[in-house]
Amino acid sequence: MRETLGGSGVAGATWALVVAAGSGERLGIDRPKAFAVLGGRPLLAESLDRLDRCPWVDAIVVAAPVGWEEPAILLSEELATTKVVSCVSGGATRADSVRAAFVEVSDEALVVLVHDAARPLVDDGVIERVLEPLSRGFDGAVPTLPVDDTLKRVEDGRVAETVPRERLVRAQTPQAFLAPVLRHALEGDVSGATDCASLVERAGLRVAVVEGDPRLLKVTTPADLALVEALARSS
Ligand code: CTP
Ligand code: MG
């Protein structure tokens, strides 16, 4: 299913794909995670609203859970977004959902941002940081945070080794890519990919690392939802 919304109809240089098609199994509620209630409205509303107001984003495509395309469109209308141009049905995996949304991206797009709806507190600062390396010859950019805990590799229920953490980071979204780079990466084998940067890395291309944001935590469990709700209130 694919719905084209009114929107402004303007297809600019920078497109944002919001992947919201996951089932939210670990959250364990009666609806997909994108429609969990955060501050009195669906979780998806937060990132849609914030991306729509971002001056560097020209057009937005939403990948909605199958059967939830209509509520996603209604939500976009209620929010009076001006940049949401299309809402597509997501796929079986995150990468499949990105692929489905990418189909809607104009051939004229220069840059594509991919963002998890499960990270509602996206802001202009991190968007600016991931866009910047693309003008310095990078193919993509990822926001990251350091790893604070000691890391162990486990085999058969026991510790096999302690992994040095100095060169490890946690990757977040939004991730930014030159549009042709992401198009090409999505044409290949996407199995097992939990983010888009890994697809671009696999192709041997250059992905920059920029500072992430602790407020961009991903809602996975009910405790995360409560935490994000508290963070949203404190802003
Ligand atoms: N996602 C998607 N399509 C899928 C799977 C995931 O668009 N088939 C999106 C989710 O909606 C989310 C992001 O990818 O915004 C990160 O995925 P995750 O946090 O794992 O969300 P879910 O897959 O919904 O959660 P769970 O793994 O607990 O089922
Ligand atoms: Mg998942």
pLDDT averaged over consecutive 10-residue blocks of the chain (235 residues)? 48 90 97 96 98 97 98 98 97 97 97 98 98 97 96 97 94 98 94 94 94 97 96 85
Ligand nearest to the CA of 117: 1
Residues flanking ligand 1, CB < 6 Å = 19-26, 33-34, 63, 90-94, 97, 116-118, 218, 220
Q: Could you identify the residue written with the tokens 């602790």?
A: 214
**pTM score, two decimals?**
0.94
pLDDT at 88: 98
CA distance 43 to 36: 6
Residue 2's nearest CA partner among 113, 119, 109, 102 is 102
Atom of ligand 1 at shortest range from CA of 22: 24
Ligand nearest to the CA of 115: 1
Amino acid identity, position 182: L
> 97: CA distance to ligand 1 center in Å?
9
Atom of ligand 1 at shortest range from CA of 98: 7
CA distance 186 to 199: 7
